[in-house]
Copies of this chain bind each other. A is one copy, B any other.
Amino acid sequence: MKSAGKSGHRGKGRITLDDVARRVGVSAITVSRALNNPDKVSEALKERIQQAVLETGYVPNRAARSLASNASKTLAVIIPSVSNAVFSNVIKGIYDVCTPLNYEMIIGNTYYSLKQESNLIEKFLTHMPDGFITTGLDMSDDTRQRLEQSGIPVVQMMETGTREPIDMCVGISHLAAGREMAEYFIRKGYQRIGVIASQLDQRTRNRVQGFLSCVREHAPTQPDRVIADPRPSSVHLGGALFSELLAQFPDTDAIFCCNDDLAYGAIYECQRRHLRIPQQIAIAGFNDLEQSACINPSLTSIAIPLYSIGKTAAEMMLNRLKGQPTPTPVMDLGFRLIERESA
């Protein structure tokens, strides 16, 4: 029953458009139309063709289609890490826009490395994607230039304001978000305010910067209470950085954790130390992951419109691919501070 399909042989066994056409007694192009532009083929023929496709088990060859049509119907999507819950929401937004329009996505992870990002883009270029959706504005100059030269439209997601985008851009201002969290702490009356951060990608650094600048303005005599660690964000690391901050600044009364993961670790560490949150120490996070509403105490955090960012990025891209103008090449979708028990 098995049809060959081994690689290496030329065209061995596989059913082609021609096979289907011959079986129906029409030309290949007519079968192609029946499959791709059904309204350009008469009903009767369409049915016979459908039948033949089913009987033969014909599978269209995307590579051939892409080569002949000079359009891959593919969007290259580049994110730091799919295992990061933040990006799975973004991806969902892109996916939901692409799928109905028959665009496919190829997704790659940079693991927060500009070098890996560069390799990935180089690799994805060979797929001749119709568009690139990438993460962040902090791309290496070489990569940026490579993308510009390709002539392929680019949407950069997640952050706005730190730099001119290559082409289009949708996200939020992490600087403003960090600042807003500091203002919130100050409004709540906290005095000795610290921040812990990991990963230290540009967006995280911007949150720290916005946060610190506001804290400094408010309490110019206080030292900067900051622990920054380049390692990937994790619950475990959150506990460690929290401990480090308290070791250096034991009188800290509020801590902004630049990711919810870190905040969970900080909360667990407080539990082990029998520190009362927020009475003895306030904790806030960033991203507002699902768990933040469930943990004890529930976590004050900043929610980002992740799904909308993905959706908008895809919409901007598909709009462009339809040949329409881009009235707003930079879109700031804003964020929302979610007040809960922890701060």
Contact = CB atoms under 8 A, between A and B. Distances in A.
Given A67-B64, A234-B290, A1 B83 contact: no
Contacts of A3: 149-151
A64 B72 CA distance: 12
B57 A8 contact: no
B126 A61 contact: yes
Contacts of A271: 296
B291 A235 contact: yes
A26 interface: no
A148 interface: yes
A249 interface: no
A29 interface: no
B126 A71 contact: no
B7 A149 contact: no
B149 A1 contact: yes
Interface string A268-302: 10011000000000000000001101111000000
B290 A268 contact: no
A342 to B, nearest CB: 13
B294 A4 contact: no
A219 interface: no
A83 B6 CA distance: 33
Contacts of A6: 151
A71 B148 contact: no
Contacts of A265: 294
Interface string A297-338: 000000000000000000000000100000000000000000
Contacts of A64: 63, 67
Nearest to A269: B294
Given A151-B6, A272-B296, A67 B70 contact: no
A54 to B, nearest CB: 12
Contact of A104 (B7, B67, B123): B123
Nearest to A152: B5
Nearest to A57: B149
Contacts of A231: none
B235 A69 contact: no
Given A8-B71, A11-B70, 10 more contacts: A9-B70, A59-B128, A59-B150, A62-B126, A82-B82, A83-B92, A235-B294, A239-B294, A268-B294, A272-B296
Which 6 A-B pairs rank lowest in CB-CB distance, beginning with the nearest? A83-B88, A5-B151, A7-B71, A63-B66, A63-B63, A62-B126
11 contacts: A3-B151, A5-B151, A7-B71, A8-B71, A9-B70, A10-B70, A59-B126, A63-B67, A81-B88, A264-B294, A268-B296
